[in-house]
């Protein structure tokens, strides 16, 4: 999972896990591990929303209670912050999920390991 979190191949830790932002490469470019077996599906956005929500909502409530900023200021800060955190965390979280599936030999990963 840690290798996936750093967007690296779960088998060797060196090859690139993604060929595009959240498109998993078919095979590792270093060790040749088949990565197309991954079935992350809706799990990465689900966990990303859960993590981002648990960061943004408490922080927003704390800022509101302590400083009472104007609504436009809250929106001007928290909306871009939500987008940035979502885009920043989606790929590592997907990588970690693919790494978990690889480690548990799910969805066909088992047939290609020793």
Binding site for Zn ion (CB under 5 A): 9, 11-12, 15, 28, 30-31, 33
Count, residues in the chain:
114
Nearer to Zn ion, 9 or 90 (CB): 9
**Closest CB 10 distance from Zn ion, rounded Å:** 8
Half-sphere exposure at residue 17, Cβ-oriented, CA atoms within 13 angstroms: 28
Give the Å distances, CA to CA, from 112 to 1, 27, 34, 35, 73: 18, 12, 7, 10, 53
Q: How far is the CB of 17 from Zn ion (least distance, A)?
A: 8
DSSP structure class, residue 60: H
**Based on CB atoms, which residue is closest to Zn ion, 12 or 89?**
12
- In the complex with Zn ion, the residue whose CB is nearer, 5 or 49, is 5
- The answer to whether the CB of 6 falls within 8 A of the CB of 95 is yes
Minimum distance from residue 23 beta carbon to Zn ion (Å): 16
């Amino acid at each position: 999972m840690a290798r996936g979190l750093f967007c690296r191949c779960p088998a060797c830790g060196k090859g690139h896990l993604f060929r595009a932002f959240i498109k998993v490469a078919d095979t590792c470019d270093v060790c040749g591990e088949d990565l197309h077996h991954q079935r992350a599906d809706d799990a990465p956005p689900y966990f990303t929303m859960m993590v981002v929500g648990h960061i943004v909502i408490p922080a927003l409530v704390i800022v509101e209670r302590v400083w009472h900023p104007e609504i436009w200021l809250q929106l001007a800060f928290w909306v871009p912050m939500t987008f940035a955190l979502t885009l920043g965390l989606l790929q590592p979280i997907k990588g970690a999920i693919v790494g978990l599936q690889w480690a548990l030999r799910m969805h066909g990963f088992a047939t290609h390991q020793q």
